[in-house]
Chain A
Amino acid sequence: MSLVPWSKEAALRILATMCDEPGPILICLQALQAEFGYIPEDAVAFVADACNVSRADVHGVLTYYHDLRTSVPPQSSIRICVAEACQAVGSRELVTAAEGAFGTTLGAPNDLVEIESAYCFGNCALGPAAMVDHQLIGRASLEKLLAAVQGDEDK
């Protein structure tokens, strides 16, 4: 997915299209993140103005949801399901192996990749499940993760 560099003007254009929706804060933040990949701190004031709510309201929503992020995303995101069904088929071990292979730890991204734990992709009969960028991987293994990050889908 190609992301657009953050700009106030582009952000305001997006906000103008949705600030009149009922209960707009979350969908505004989601729309900004879909466009720019993250929500910079500056955006809080713009969203508050557009939605006619306080900055505290926007900050509260922004910091509540796991999906919303305030930093620039790395090139690749690897999300490994570590909920029960995937635990039962070795997702904890997969996380450890991925951390070693990509030289990073959970929640501490380097420039190239970010490994995050996730809780269920609804692929619980074909676990461990992982999502690399927007591609869901069933029966995930380190080999499959490496192939997906390198864009080699035939693995």
Chain B
Amino acid sequence: MRGQKFWAWLIFGLGAAYFIIPLIATFEFSLRMRRGEYSFDAYASVFSDPQFAASFGYSIVIGLFTIVVGILVVVPAVYFVRLRMPWLRPFMEFVTLLPLVIPALVLVYGYIRLYGSSSFLPFTGSVLGTDVLLTCAYVTLALPFMYRAVDNGMRTIDIGTLTEAAQIAGANQLQIIGQIILPNILVAILSGAFLTFAIVIGEFTIASLLNRPAFGPYLVGIGTNRAYEPAALAIISFIITWGAMGMINVLGRFAPAPPSGPTDMAAFLEIENLVKTFGTNTVVKGASFGFDKGEFISLLGPSGCGKTTILRMIAGFERPSSGAIRVDGRDITQLKPNQRQLGMVFQAYALFPNLTVGDNIAFGLKIAGMPADQRRARVEEMLKLIGLPGFEKRYPYEMSGGQQQRVALARAIAPKPRLLLLDEPLSALDAKIRVSLRQEIRAIQQDLGITTVFVTHDQEEALSISDRIVVMNAGASNSSARRTKSTIGRPVGSRRLLSATSTCFRPASFRRAQWQTLAVC
């Protein structure tokens, strides 16, 4: 872990040097105008040059024009194509890719041929040399970036549903666009706008070929024969670009952040006084419990109560602040996850999308160095066990959620782990599959006799499947703890549980079970 961080810093440092040194050098160079001492003469010379002011102003005007035209061209098209004409999408993607594939120089050459008079230079055509053509050329250049910014903005807010909701509320098309859609994608549009501006302000080639004589984006002036002003202009241009891009970054803070879900956790043989603190927040406060080999243990509790953290400490993804985890009498607290010989099934399957079902199941075997023919046999055996024989050539995306989760289970148990960890493996599935799959999981677990820790927030799920249940609660609310206890304590063992999975159940082990409430959060 330390080594990884060292390499990250090293790579970052080398990269930073490559990018920062030229900036420092340019700045230093721009100060050299007065012989023998540093001065800002070059900047004074640039700013006092009337041509700089004129062309700079012109650049800003063209930049704004480009933004307006770009928005008008891109935003309505993206909106309606997303909403009603999805069949046009591939075409739009293709069109917006073209400016990245066809060099700008080639396109400009095409404009000159098409919109100029028959000769190339001097510009005698009626459209050549006008602001209109220059603006349109810049819109083309910025098209891929504007399109992507707006398209991403519309994807994150799910415009289809929003539009339907507004329609049901009685809004007409203009009201929907003006009051619902535009305000929601404003951040995306502005990001695209600033990016467009950054592109226009620093552009040279198109400007030098299409601009009107005597004016032109200010950077055209950089190509003069003077020595130090260009360095000053480069610094100025860098600062302007930075300003535009910085605005995009500021805007990003107003965009909705992608949700990040917490994970749940539970463990195997002996958990002793486990504590986990994140900063000042103690998530797990001294959890202790122990389980027999072959048992199916559930960690039951509301979300945020620390059950995931316990499971992740057993897996080794989190290091306990204090306490110990022992498997088969051996302290594994300091081991890395890949040394613990555990199997884990995740809430969101986490199948490797680039590998087939067979390769996913064989992954752990391959890592362990099992020969290919044995791997094949084991994969076949596993597929039979989970009721998916003949699926080894499929890719994860070709399967339903329930099938994927069964493959994930097979992948976890194929290397015969000492402990199986299930992190809310059923919560992403629909109710019917959930019931059948949990019975299957239980049957497989009993068949193999593998000790299993199962994290869930669903009482019924925990009750129907477990040998023992650890009830966790958020500490603060005693009443919820008591209620949880009582519902589990009585009807469980006798009625619901036995009727649901009586064949799997050993009442004896249930009587032995000690109910524990862990104070957490």
Q: Do they bind each other?
A: no
